[in-house]
Amino acid sequence: MQSEDVDSIELNSLRLDFDPENELINYYAEGFIDIGYIILFAAAFPLGPAVALLMNILEIRNRVTVLLYILRRPTCKRSTGIGEWLNIWELMSFVSVFTNFALLYVKNTDIFEYLFGPGNVYDVDETSKMWFYIVVIVFIVFIKYIFQVVIKDKPEWVKKEEDRAAFLKNAEQE
C-alpha cells in the first residue's frame, strides 16, 4: 500500500457515520415542507418557486460537501419506493389545487375582466364566480386523475427487471 492510501483510510475512519434511517426521514420531511410552501401558496407568492429553486441548489451543494468530506460513505440498501411519503405527496398536490384557487377566488379579478370585459367585472355576482372556480377545480382534479391513470408509476423495463429478480430469487430457494 502507498502512504496516501493509508492516510485516506485513516481519515475515513475519523468521519462521522451516515445514519440512513434518520437522514432519509429528514430529507423527505424537508422536501415535503419545501414543496408544500411552493404548491400551496404559489398564487400568493409567484416568485416562491424561483426562490425555492435557488435555495435547493445551494442545499444540494451543501449536501454533496457533507457527504464527500464529513460523513463516511453510506451503504446502499434496496428499496421498493418511498413508502407512505407517496400518499402524503399525492394528498398535498390534491389540496394545493383547492388552496391556490381559493387564493385566486379571494384576490383575483383579472380572469373575469378577460372573460366578461373590463367594465363588466362588477356585474358578475359572487355565486357565478364561485361556480366558475368550482368548475375549474373539478376540471383540474379530473385532468390530474387522468394523468395519474395514464402515466404508470413504473416503466415497463423496471417491471421486467423486478420480475426477473423475483424469478431468480425463487430459483435460488428451490
Torsion sign across C-alpha atoms 122, 123, 124, 125? positive
Could you tell me if 39 and 98 are in contact, meaning their C-beta atoms sit under 8 angstroms apart? no
Query: Which pTM does this prediction carry?
Result: 0.62
Alpha helices in 47-125 (DSSP H): 48-69, 85-107, 110-116
Give the other-Cβ count within 10 Å of 74's Cβ. 12
Per-residue confidence of the chain (174 residues) as pLDDT tens digits? Answer: 455 555 666 666 666 676 666 677 787 888 888 888 888 888 788 888 899 899 989 999 998 888 888 777 777 777 777 778 888 888 888 888 888 888 887 777 677 677 666 666 556 677 877 888 889 899 999 998 999 889 887 888 988 998 998 899 888 887
Q: Tell me the domain boundaries of the chain.
A: 1-78
Chain center to CA of 32:
7
State how far the Cα of 14 lies from the Cα of 146, in Å rounded to an integer: 52
State how far the Cα of 30 lies from the Cα of 23, in Å rounded to an integer: 10
